[in-house]
A and B are shown apart, each in its own frame.
Chain A
Protein backbone atom coordinates (compact mmCIF):
# COMPACT_ATOMS: atom_id res chain seq x y z
CA UNK A 1 0.00 0.00 0.00
CA UNK A 2 1.33 3.41 -0.93
CA UNK A 3 2.40 5.60 1.98
CA UNK A 4 0.74 8.47 0.14
CA UNK A 5 -2.67 6.85 0.40
CA UNK A 6 -5.39 9.27 1.50
CA UNK A 7 -7.80 6.46 2.29
CA UNK A 8 -6.81 2.97 3.42
CA UNK A 9 -9.54 0.41 4.01
CA UNK A 10 -8.83 -3.06 5.30
CA UNK A 11 -11.20 -5.93 6.14
CA UNK A 12 -14.14 -3.50 6.35
CA UNK A 13 -17.37 -5.16 7.42
CA UNK A 14 -20.60 -3.24 7.97
CA UNK A 15 -23.98 -4.46 9.17
CA UNK A 16 -27.18 -2.55 8.48
CA UNK A 17 -30.48 -3.77 9.81
CA UNK A 18 -30.24 -7.55 10.17
CA UNK A 19 -27.71 -8.10 7.41
CA UNK A 20 -24.05 -7.67 6.77
CA UNK A 21 -23.92 -5.39 3.71
CA UNK A 22 -20.13 -4.98 3.27
CA UNK A 23 -18.14 -8.20 3.49
CA UNK A 24 -14.52 -7.45 4.26
CA UNK A 25 -13.49 -4.73 1.79
CA UNK A 26 -9.89 -3.67 1.26
CA UNK A 27 -8.69 -0.77 -0.88
CA UNK A 28 -6.41 2.22 -0.89
CA UNK A 29 -6.85 5.54 -2.63
CA UNK A 30 -3.81 7.64 -3.63
CA UNK A 31 -3.58 11.39 -3.10
CA UNK A 32 -4.82 13.60 -5.92
CA UNK A 33 -6.70 10.79 -7.69
CA UNK A 34 -10.23 10.81 -9.02
CA UNK A 35 -11.77 7.48 -8.12
CA UNK A 36 -15.10 6.31 -9.48
CA UNK A 37 -17.20 4.01 -7.33
CA UNK A 38 -19.55 2.04 -9.56
CA UNK A 39 -22.01 -0.72 -8.94
CA UNK A 40 -25.67 -1.65 -9.09
CA UNK A 41 -28.24 -0.24 -6.73
CA UNK A 42 -27.89 -1.76 -3.28
CA UNK A 43 -24.32 -2.94 -3.84
CA UNK A 44 -23.06 -0.86 -0.91
CA UNK A 45 -21.61 2.29 -2.51
CA UNK A 46 -23.28 4.68 -0.07
CA UNK A 47 -22.41 2.44 2.87
CA UNK A 48 -18.74 2.43 1.89
CA UNK A 49 -18.77 6.23 1.53
CA UNK A 50 -20.51 6.67 4.87
CA UNK A 51 -17.85 4.47 6.45
CA UNK A 52 -15.09 6.62 4.94
CA UNK A 53 -16.58 9.89 6.23
CA UNK A 54 -17.26 8.25 9.59
CA UNK A 55 -21.04 8.48 9.93
CA UNK A 56 -21.75 4.77 9.54
CA UNK A 57 -22.39 2.78 12.71
CA UNK A 58 -21.65 -0.94 13.24
CA UNK A 59 -18.39 -0.91 11.31
CA UNK A 60 -15.54 -3.34 11.90
CA UNK A 61 -12.11 -3.47 10.29
CA UNK A 62 -9.78 -0.59 9.53
CA UNK A 63 -10.66 2.69 7.78
CA UNK A 64 -7.83 5.24 7.83
CA UNK A 65 -8.36 8.69 6.29
CA UNK A 66 -5.46 11.16 6.01
CA UNK A 67 -3.64 9.13 8.63
CA UNK A 68 -6.45 9.14 11.23
CA UNK A 69 -9.27 6.70 11.90
CA UNK A 70 -12.37 7.65 9.87
CA UNK A 71 -14.67 10.04 11.68
CA UNK A 72 -12.08 11.26 14.18
CA UNK A 73 -12.12 14.86 15.33
CA UNK A 74 -8.95 15.76 13.43
CA UNK A 75 -10.72 15.01 10.13
CA UNK A 76 -13.77 17.21 10.60
CA UNK A 77 -13.63 19.92 7.97
CA UNK A 78 -10.79 18.21 6.06
CA UNK A 79 -13.21 15.78 4.39
CA UNK A 80 -16.06 17.15 2.28
CA UNK A 81 -19.12 14.94 2.01
CA UNK A 82 -22.17 15.16 -0.20
CA UNK A 83 -24.93 12.71 0.72
CA UNK A 84 -26.90 10.92 -1.97
CA UNK A 85 -29.94 13.20 -1.60
CA UNK A 86 -29.17 16.92 -1.44
CA UNK A 87 -28.32 17.80 2.16
CA UNK A 88 -29.05 21.52 2.26
CA UNK A 89 -31.80 23.50 3.99
CA UNK A 90 -34.87 23.92 1.76
CA UNK A 91 -36.09 26.99 3.63
CA UNK A 92 -32.86 28.94 3.20
CA UNK A 93 -31.49 30.54 0.07
CA UNK A 94 -28.44 28.99 -1.58
CA UNK A 95 -26.30 31.81 -0.23
CA UNK A 96 -27.70 31.48 3.29
CA UNK A 97 -26.95 27.76 3.22
CA UNK A 98 -23.38 28.40 2.16
CA UNK A 99 -22.98 31.18 4.72
CA UNK A 100 -24.03 28.83 7.50
CA UNK A 101 -21.76 25.95 6.48
CA UNK A 102 -18.92 28.44 5.97
CA UNK A 103 -19.35 29.73 9.54
CA UNK A 104 -19.30 26.17 10.88
CA UNK A 105 -16.15 25.34 8.89
CA UNK A 106 -14.45 28.62 9.76
CA UNK A 107 -13.60 29.03 6.05
CA UNK A 108 -12.92 32.46 4.49
CA UNK A 109 -15.97 34.44 3.31
CA UNK A 110 -14.66 34.54 -0.25
CA UNK A 111 -15.24 30.77 -0.42
CA UNK A 112 -18.97 31.38 -0.84
CA UNK A 113 -18.60 33.17 -4.16
CA UNK A 114 -15.99 30.70 -5.34
CA UNK A 115 -18.26 27.72 -4.61
CA UNK A 116 -21.21 29.45 -6.31
CA UNK A 117 -19.09 30.06 -9.38
CA UNK A 118 -17.67 26.52 -9.48
CA UNK A 119 -21.14 25.02 -9.41
CA UNK A 120 -22.66 27.61 -11.78
CA UNK A 121 -25.21 28.77 -9.24
CA UNK A 122 -24.53 32.54 -9.24
CA UNK A 123 -27.92 33.32 -10.78
CA UNK A 124 -29.76 31.19 -8.22
CA UNK A 125 -27.78 32.38 -5.20
CA UNK A 126 -30.65 34.29 -3.62
CA UNK A 127 -33.41 31.78 -4.30
CA UNK A 128 -34.77 29.43 -1.69
CA UNK A 129 -33.33 25.95 -2.18
CA UNK A 130 -36.86 24.54 -1.91
CA UNK A 131 -37.78 26.37 -5.12
CA UNK A 132 -34.87 24.97 -7.17
CA UNK A 133 -34.90 22.06 -9.60
CA UNK A 134 -33.46 18.73 -8.49
CA UNK A 135 -30.20 19.26 -10.35
CA UNK A 136 -29.80 22.78 -8.95
CA UNK A 137 -30.33 21.47 -5.42
CA UNK A 138 -27.70 18.79 -5.96
CA UNK A 139 -25.31 21.48 -7.08
CA UNK A 140 -26.12 23.61 -4.02
CA UNK A 141 -25.33 20.57 -1.91
CA UNK A 142 -22.06 20.11 -3.78
CA UNK A 143 -21.20 23.81 -3.37
CA UNK A 144 -21.43 23.44 0.40
CA UNK A 145 -18.87 20.62 0.26
CA UNK A 146 -16.43 22.78 -1.70
CA UNK A 147 -16.17 25.36 1.10
CA UNK A 148 -12.90 25.38 2.98
CA UNK A 149 -11.10 23.39 0.28
CA UNK A 150 -11.21 19.92 1.85
CA UNK A 151 -8.36 17.51 1.05
CA UNK A 152 -10.74 14.64 0.40
CA UNK A 153 -14.13 14.94 -1.29
CA UNK A 154 -16.60 12.08 -0.98
CA UNK A 155 -19.47 12.63 -3.41
CA UNK A 156 -22.39 10.23 -3.47
CA UNK A 157 -23.98 10.35 -6.94
CA UNK A 158 -23.46 14.08 -7.48
CA UNK A 159 -24.49 13.96 -11.15
CA UNK A 160 -27.86 12.23 -10.77
CA UNK A 161 -30.61 14.13 -12.56
CA UNK A 162 -28.29 16.45 -14.44
CA UNK A 163 -28.36 17.06 -18.16
CA UNK A 164 -25.28 16.06 -20.22
CA UNK A 165 -23.99 19.63 -20.40
CA UNK A 166 -24.04 20.11 -16.63
CA UNK A 167 -22.63 16.65 -16.05
CA UNK A 168 -19.80 17.52 -18.33
CA UNK A 169 -19.18 20.79 -16.45
CA UNK A 170 -19.16 19.01 -13.10
CA UNK A 171 -16.71 16.36 -14.25
CA UNK A 172 -14.50 19.16 -15.52
CA UNK A 173 -14.60 20.66 -12.01
CA UNK A 174 -13.74 17.29 -10.47
CA UNK A 175 -10.77 16.96 -12.82
CA UNK A 176 -9.62 20.48 -11.96
CA UNK A 177 -9.86 19.76 -8.24
CA UNK A 178 -7.91 16.53 -8.65
CA UNK A 179 -5.24 18.34 -10.67
CA UNK A 180 -4.91 20.81 -7.79
CA UNK A 181 -4.24 17.93 -5.39
CA UNK A 182 -7.70 17.18 -3.99
CA UNK A 183 -8.56 13.50 -3.72
CA UNK A 184 -12.07 12.63 -4.93
CA UNK A 185 -14.27 9.59 -4.57
CA UNK A 186 -17.36 9.85 -6.77
CA UNK A 187 -20.07 7.23 -6.93
CA UNK A 188 -22.25 6.81 -9.98
CA UNK A 189 -24.76 4.58 -11.69
CA UNK A 190 -23.84 5.96 -15.07
CA UNK A 191 -21.22 3.76 -16.62
CA UNK A 192 -20.20 6.25 -19.29
CA UNK A 193 -18.86 8.46 -16.52
CA UNK A 194 -16.30 5.75 -15.79
CA UNK A 195 -13.93 6.92 -18.49
CA UNK A 196 -13.54 10.24 -16.65
CA UNK A 197 -11.91 8.59 -13.64
CA UNK A 198 -8.29 7.69 -12.89
CA UNK A 199 -9.40 4.53 -11.15
CA UNK A 200 -12.56 2.49 -10.98
CA UNK A 201 -13.85 0.55 -8.03
CA UNK A 202 -16.55 -1.86 -9.12
CA UNK A 203 -18.80 -3.12 -6.37
CA UNK A 204 -21.36 -5.87 -6.29
CA UNK A 205 -23.34 -7.28 -3.36
CA UNK A 206 -21.11 -5.70 -0.75
CA UNK A 207 -17.81 -6.86 -2.25
CA UNK A 208 -15.23 -5.27 -4.49
CA UNK A 209 -15.19 -6.86 -7.95
CA UNK A 210 -12.24 -4.92 -9.30
CA UNK A 211 -9.96 -1.96 -8.73
CA UNK A 212 -8.43 -0.88 -12.06
CA UNK A 213 -7.88 2.10 -14.29
CA UNK A 214 -10.43 2.49 -17.12
CA UNK A 215 -7.90 1.32 -19.74
CA UNK A 216 -6.85 -1.67 -17.63
CA UNK A 217 -10.50 -2.56 -17.16
CA UNK A 218 -11.18 -2.58 -20.90
CA UNK A 219 -7.94 -4.43 -21.64
CA UNK A 220 -8.52 -7.13 -19.02
CA UNK A 221 -12.05 -7.85 -20.17
CA UNK A 222 -11.67 -7.17 -23.86
CA UNK A 223 -14.89 -5.15 -23.73
CA UNK A 224 -15.61 -2.05 -25.79
CA UNK A 225 -16.96 0.13 -22.99
CA UNK A 226 -17.24 0.22 -19.19
CA UNK A 227 -20.76 -1.15 -19.14
CA UNK A 228 -19.85 -4.21 -21.19
CA UNK A 229 -16.69 -4.66 -19.10
CA UNK A 230 -18.74 -4.59 -15.91
CA UNK A 231 -21.15 -7.21 -17.18
CA UNK A 232 -18.22 -9.34 -18.27
CA UNK A 233 -16.69 -9.10 -14.76
CA UNK A 234 -19.98 -10.13 -13.19
CA UNK A 235 -20.20 -13.10 -15.54
CA UNK A 236 -16.65 -14.12 -14.63
CA UNK A 237 -17.25 -13.82 -10.88
CA UNK A 238 -20.47 -15.82 -11.15
CA UNK A 239 -18.67 -18.54 -13.08
CA UNK A 240 -15.82 -18.70 -10.54
Chain B
Protein backbone atom coordinates (compact mmCIF):
# COMPACT_ATOMS: atom_id res chain seq x y z
CA UNK B 1 0.00 0.00 0.00
CA UNK B 2 1.25 3.51 -0.75
CA UNK B 3 -0.30 6.84 0.32
CA UNK B 4 1.00 8.44 -2.87
CA UNK B 5 -0.88 6.01 -5.10
CA UNK B 6 -4.00 6.15 -2.93
CA UNK B 7 -4.10 9.95 -3.10
CA UNK B 8 -3.30 9.97 -6.83
CA UNK B 9 -6.32 7.70 -7.34
CA UNK B 10 -8.57 9.86 -5.16
CA UNK B 11 -7.43 12.97 -7.05
CA UNK B 12 -8.03 11.28 -10.38
CA UNK B 13 -11.58 10.23 -9.42
CA UNK B 14 -12.39 13.76 -8.23
CA UNK B 15 -11.03 15.26 -11.46
CA UNK B 16 -13.22 12.86 -13.46
CA UNK B 17 -16.29 13.88 -11.49
CA UNK B 18 -15.45 17.55 -11.88
CA UNK B 19 -15.84 17.00 -15.64
CA UNK B 20 -19.24 15.38 -15.13
CA UNK B 21 -21.85 17.89 -13.86
CA UNK B 22 -24.67 15.35 -14.04
CA UNK B 23 -23.04 13.05 -11.53
CA UNK B 24 -22.34 16.01 -9.24
CA UNK B 25 -26.00 16.96 -9.47
CA UNK B 26 -27.09 13.40 -8.82
CA UNK B 27 -24.95 13.18 -5.72
CA UNK B 28 -25.46 16.62 -4.23
CA UNK B 29 -28.94 17.73 -5.27
CA UNK B 30 -31.08 14.66 -5.95
CA UNK B 31 -31.23 13.34 -2.34
CA UNK B 32 -32.54 16.74 -1.19
CA UNK B 33 -35.08 16.88 -4.02
CA UNK B 34 -36.39 13.43 -3.10
CA UNK B 35 -36.62 14.37 0.57
CA UNK B 36 -38.45 17.53 -0.47
CA UNK B 37 -40.86 15.46 -2.54
CA UNK B 38 -41.65 13.21 0.41
CA UNK B 39 -42.24 16.27 2.60
CA UNK B 40 -44.57 17.70 -0.02
CA UNK B 41 -46.56 14.45 -0.38
CA UNK B 42 -47.24 14.47 3.35
CA UNK B 43 -47.54 18.23 3.68
CA UNK B 44 -50.79 18.35 5.71
CA UNK B 45 -49.96 15.40 7.97
CA UNK B 46 -47.31 14.64 10.58
CA UNK B 47 -46.01 11.63 8.60
CA UNK B 48 -42.90 13.47 7.40
CA UNK B 49 -41.69 13.93 10.95
CA UNK B 50 -41.95 10.17 11.40
CA UNK B 51 -40.33 8.97 8.18
CA UNK B 52 -38.19 12.04 7.36
CA UNK B 53 -35.16 10.86 9.36
CA UNK B 54 -35.26 7.48 7.58
CA UNK B 55 -35.35 9.26 4.21
CA UNK B 56 -32.18 11.05 5.25
CA UNK B 57 -30.61 7.60 5.50
CA UNK B 58 -32.25 6.06 2.47
CA UNK B 59 -31.67 8.42 -0.45
CA UNK B 60 -28.01 9.33 0.18
CA UNK B 61 -27.23 5.65 0.82
CA UNK B 62 -28.81 4.42 -2.41
CA UNK B 63 -27.41 7.22 -4.53
CA UNK B 64 -23.86 6.86 -3.24
CA UNK B 65 -24.12 3.10 -3.71
CA UNK B 66 -25.30 3.49 -7.31
CA UNK B 67 -22.85 6.20 -8.32
CA UNK B 68 -19.91 4.31 -6.85
CA UNK B 69 -20.75 0.98 -8.37
CA UNK B 70 -21.50 2.52 -11.77
CA UNK B 71 -18.24 4.48 -11.76
CA UNK B 72 -16.20 1.40 -10.94
CA UNK B 73 -18.26 -0.64 -13.38
CA UNK B 74 -17.25 1.78 -16.10
CA UNK B 75 -13.64 1.40 -15.02
CA UNK B 76 -14.00 -2.33 -15.61
CA UNK B 77 -15.77 -1.99 -18.95
CA UNK B 78 -13.30 0.43 -20.50
CA UNK B 79 -10.31 -1.75 -19.58
CA UNK B 80 -8.70 0.90 -17.37
CA UNK B 81 -9.06 -1.42 -14.37
CA UNK B 82 -7.37 -4.21 -16.31
CA UNK B 83 -4.50 -1.90 -17.18
CA UNK B 84 -4.24 -0.51 -13.65
CA UNK B 85 -3.98 -3.97 -12.15
CA UNK B 86 -0.89 -4.71 -14.27
CA UNK B 87 0.76 -1.65 -12.70
CA UNK B 88 2.36 -1.32 -9.27
CA UNK B 89 -0.82 -0.25 -7.47
CA UNK B 90 -2.08 -2.23 -4.45
CA UNK B 91 -5.71 -3.29 -4.59
CA UNK B 92 -6.22 -1.44 -1.30
CA UNK B 93 -4.82 1.77 -2.90
CA UNK B 94 -7.49 1.51 -5.55
CA UNK B 95 -10.38 0.90 -3.13
CA UNK B 96 -9.19 3.50 -0.61
CA UNK B 97 -8.65 6.09 -3.34
CA UNK B 98 -12.28 5.73 -4.35
CA UNK B 99 -13.43 5.77 -0.71
CA UNK B 100 -11.59 9.03 -0.07
CA UNK B 101 -12.88 10.73 -3.20
CA UNK B 102 -16.50 9.74 -2.64
CA UNK B 103 -16.13 10.28 1.11
CA UNK B 104 -15.28 13.93 0.44
CA UNK B 105 -18.32 14.26 -1.81
CA UNK B 106 -20.41 12.55 0.87
CA UNK B 107 -19.52 15.35 3.31
CA UNK B 108 -21.03 17.91 0.95
CA UNK B 109 -23.99 15.66 0.23
CA UNK B 110 -24.77 14.97 3.90
CA UNK B 111 -24.49 18.69 4.76
CA UNK B 112 -26.84 19.72 1.95
CA UNK B 113 -29.38 16.96 2.61
CA UNK B 114 -29.43 17.54 6.37
CA UNK B 115 -29.77 21.31 6.02
CA UNK B 116 -32.47 20.94 3.39
CA UNK B 117 -34.51 18.46 5.45
CA UNK B 118 -34.35 20.57 8.60
CA UNK B 119 -34.49 24.16 7.37
CA UNK B 120 -36.39 23.89 4.11
CA UNK B 121 -38.69 20.94 4.75
CA UNK B 122 -39.11 21.70 8.44
CA UNK B 123 -38.12 18.28 9.75
CA UNK B 124 -38.42 18.40 13.56
CA UNK B 125 -35.10 17.55 15.21
CA UNK B 126 -35.17 17.30 18.99
CA UNK B 127 -31.55 16.21 19.31
CA UNK B 128 -28.23 17.59 18.04
CA UNK B 129 -28.11 18.66 14.43
CA UNK B 130 -24.39 17.80 14.41
CA UNK B 131 -25.13 14.23 15.37
CA UNK B 132 -27.74 14.11 12.62
CA UNK B 133 -25.10 15.26 10.12
CA UNK B 134 -22.56 12.75 11.44
CA UNK B 135 -24.96 9.83 10.99
CA UNK B 136 -26.03 11.01 7.53
CA UNK B 137 -22.36 11.21 6.53
CA UNK B 138 -21.50 7.76 7.90
CA UNK B 139 -24.50 6.40 6.04
CA UNK B 140 -23.41 7.93 2.72
CA UNK B 141 -19.87 6.63 3.15
CA UNK B 142 -21.34 3.22 3.89
CA UNK B 143 -23.22 3.37 0.59
CA UNK B 144 -19.95 4.09 -1.21
CA UNK B 145 -18.00 1.30 0.44
CA UNK B 146 -20.74 -1.26 -0.20
CA UNK B 147 -20.77 -0.14 -3.84
CA UNK B 148 -17.02 -0.72 -3.98
CA UNK B 149 -17.36 -4.12 -2.35
CA UNK B 150 -19.95 -5.20 -4.89
CA UNK B 151 -17.86 -4.14 -7.85
CA UNK B 152 -14.72 -5.72 -6.41
CA UNK B 153 -16.50 -8.97 -5.61
CA UNK B 154 -18.00 -9.30 -9.07
CA UNK B 155 -15.91 -10.99 -11.74
CA UNK B 156 -17.72 -9.34 -14.64
CA UNK B 157 -19.65 -6.14 -15.24
CA UNK B 158 -22.86 -8.10 -15.58
CA UNK B 159 -22.42 -9.50 -12.07
CA UNK B 160 -22.12 -5.97 -10.70
CA UNK B 161 -25.55 -5.15 -12.05
CA UNK B 162 -26.94 -8.39 -10.65
CA UNK B 163 -25.58 -7.72 -7.17
CA UNK B 164 -26.96 -4.17 -6.94
CA UNK B 165 -30.62 -4.96 -6.21
CA UNK B 166 -29.64 -7.91 -4.01
CA UNK B 167 -27.70 -5.59 -1.71
CA UNK B 168 -30.03 -2.58 -1.67
CA UNK B 169 -33.62 -3.86 -1.62
CA UNK B 170 -33.47 -6.13 1.47
CA UNK B 171 -31.91 -3.30 3.45
CA UNK B 172 -34.68 -0.90 2.41
CA UNK B 173 -37.47 -3.38 3.15
CA UNK B 174 -36.08 -4.53 6.50
CA UNK B 175 -34.74 -1.17 7.65
CA UNK B 176 -37.84 -0.22 9.61
CA UNK B 177 -39.34 2.32 7.21
CA UNK B 178 -42.40 0.31 6.18
CA UNK B 179 -42.95 -1.34 9.56
CA UNK B 180 -40.95 -0.37 12.67
CA UNK B 181 -38.29 -3.02 13.25
CA UNK B 182 -39.68 -3.84 16.71
CA UNK B 183 -42.98 -4.91 15.13
CA UNK B 184 -41.48 -7.25 12.53
CA UNK B 185 -41.43 -11.06 13.00
CA UNK B 186 -38.50 -12.16 15.15
CA UNK B 187 -36.60 -13.78 12.31
CA UNK B 188 -36.79 -10.67 10.09
CA UNK B 189 -35.86 -8.50 13.05
CA UNK B 190 -32.78 -10.66 13.67
CA UNK B 191 -31.82 -10.41 9.99
CA UNK B 192 -32.29 -6.66 9.98
CA UNK B 193 -29.93 -6.36 12.96
CA UNK B 194 -27.21 -7.50 10.58
CA UNK B 195 -28.04 -4.95 7.87
CA UNK B 196 -26.14 -1.69 8.29
CA UNK B 197 -28.89 0.56 6.90
CA UNK B 198 -31.14 -0.47 9.83
CA UNK B 199 -28.64 1.01 12.26
CA UNK B 200 -28.37 4.24 10.29
CA UNK B 201 -32.17 4.59 10.36
CA UNK B 202 -32.28 3.74 14.10
CA UNK B 203 -29.65 6.37 14.81
CA UNK B 204 -31.33 9.10 12.75
CA UNK B 205 -34.68 8.39 14.41
CA UNK B 206 -33.04 8.53 17.84
CA UNK B 207 -31.46 11.91 17.07
CA UNK B 208 -34.65 13.34 15.59
CA UNK B 209 -36.74 12.34 18.63
CA UNK B 210 -33.93 12.73 21.15
CA UNK B 211 -35.13 9.38 22.46
CA UNK B 212 -31.67 7.97 23.28
CA UNK B 213 -28.44 9.38 24.68
CA UNK B 214 -25.34 10.27 22.69
CA UNK B 215 -23.69 6.96 23.65
CA UNK B 216 -26.43 5.06 21.80
CA UNK B 217 -25.92 7.15 18.68
CA UNK B 218 -22.15 6.81 19.07
CA UNK B 219 -22.57 3.03 19.21
CA UNK B 220 -24.59 3.10 16.00
CA UNK B 221 -21.93 5.28 14.37
CA UNK B 222 -19.34 2.68 15.35
CA UNK B 223 -21.43 -0.07 13.78
CA UNK B 224 -21.71 1.91 10.53
CA UNK B 225 -17.97 2.59 10.60
CA UNK B 226 -17.24 -1.10 11.18
CA UNK B 227 -19.38 -2.10 8.20
CA UNK B 228 -17.67 0.51 6.00
CA UNK B 229 -14.24 -0.61 7.18
CA UNK B 230 -15.15 -4.26 6.62
CA UNK B 231 -16.41 -3.50 3.11
CA UNK B 232 -13.13 -1.74 2.20
CA UNK B 233 -10.99 -4.60 3.53
CA UNK B 234 -13.15 -7.31 2.00
CA UNK B 235 -13.31 -5.38 -1.29
CA UNK B 236 -9.54 -5.14 -1.58
CA UNK B 237 -9.20 -8.84 -0.78
CA UNK B 238 -11.82 -9.98 -3.29
CA UNK B 239 -10.75 -7.71 -6.19
CA UNK B 240 -9.08 -10.04 -8.70
CA UNK B 241 -6.14 -9.10 -10.86
CA UNK B 242 -6.98 -12.00 -13.15
CA UNK B 243 -10.39 -12.12 -14.84
CA UNK B 244 -12.02 -14.75 -17.05
Using known A-B contacts A16-B244, A71-B241, A104-B5, determine if residue A92 contacts B88 with beta carbons closer than 8 Å: no
Q: In the bound complex, do residue A57 and residue B240 qualify as a contact, i.e. CB atoms below 8 Å apart?
A: yes
CB distance from B135 to the nearest CB of A (A): 32
Residues of B within 8 A of A91 (CB): 16, 19-20
* Measured CA separation A89–B78 after assembly (Å): 8
The range of chain B's interface size is: 20 to 34
Instruction: From A78-86, A199-207, A215-223, A230-238, give the one contacting chain B.
Output: A78-86
Tell me the chain A residues, 63-109 only, with Cβ under 8 Å from chain B: 71, 73, 76-77, 79, 81-92, 96, 100-101, 103-106
Q: Which of B5, B8, B12, B87 contacts A89 (CB 8 A)?
A: B12
**Residues of chain B within 8 A of A54, CB atoms compared:** 86, 241-242
A85 contacts B5, CB within 8 Å? no
Check if B16 sits within 8 Å of A92, measured CB to CB: yes
Chain A interface helix/strand/loop/mixed: loop
Which residues of chain A have C-beta atoms less than 8 A from B78's C-beta? 85-90
Q: A55-B242, A58-B244, A92-B19 are in contact. Are A87 and B12 (CB under 8 A)?
A: no
Given the interface pairs A55-B82, A87-B78, the reply to whether A104 lies near B8 with Cβ below 8 Å is yes
Contact of B80 among A17, A71, A88, A128 (CB under 8 A): A88
On whether the beta carbons of A77 and B12 are closer than 8 Å, the reply is no
Interface residues of B in 214-244 (CB under 8 A from A): 240-244
In the complex where A58-B244, A89-B80, A96-B12 touch, is A104 in contact with B88 (Cβ < 8 A)? yes
For window 106-124 of A, CB contacts with B under 8 Å fall at: 106
A59 and B241 alpha carbons, distance in the complex (Å): 13
Residue A43 is within 8 A (CB to CB) of chain B in the complex:
no
Residues of B within 8 A of A48 (CB): none
Q: Provide the bound-state CA to CA distance between A215 and B83, in Å.
A: 34
B89 and A104 contacting across the interface, CB-CB below 8 Å: yes
Bound complex: CA A52 to CA B31 (Å): 46
Is A76's CB under 8 angstroms from B244's CB? no
Q: Is B84 an interface residue (CB 8 A)?
A: yes
Determine the chain A residues whose CB is within 8 A of the CB of B241 once the complex forms. 54-55, 71
Look across to chain A and name the residue whose beta carbon is closest to the beta carbon of B240.
A57
Whether B5 contacts A103 by the Cβ 8 Å rule is yes
A59 to B12, CA, bound (A): 33
A149 within 8 A of B: no
Q: Is A53 an interface residue (CB 8 A)?
A: yes
A195 to B166, CA, bound (A): 53
A136 to chain B, nearest CB (A): 16
Instruction: Give the complex CA separation of A90 and B20 in angstroms.
Output: 11
10 further A-B pairs in the complex, CB-CB below 8 A; given A103-B5, A104-B88, A144-B83: A17-B244, A57-B242, A71-B242, A86-B79, A87-B80, A89-B78, A96-B12, A96-B15, A101-B87, A104-B9
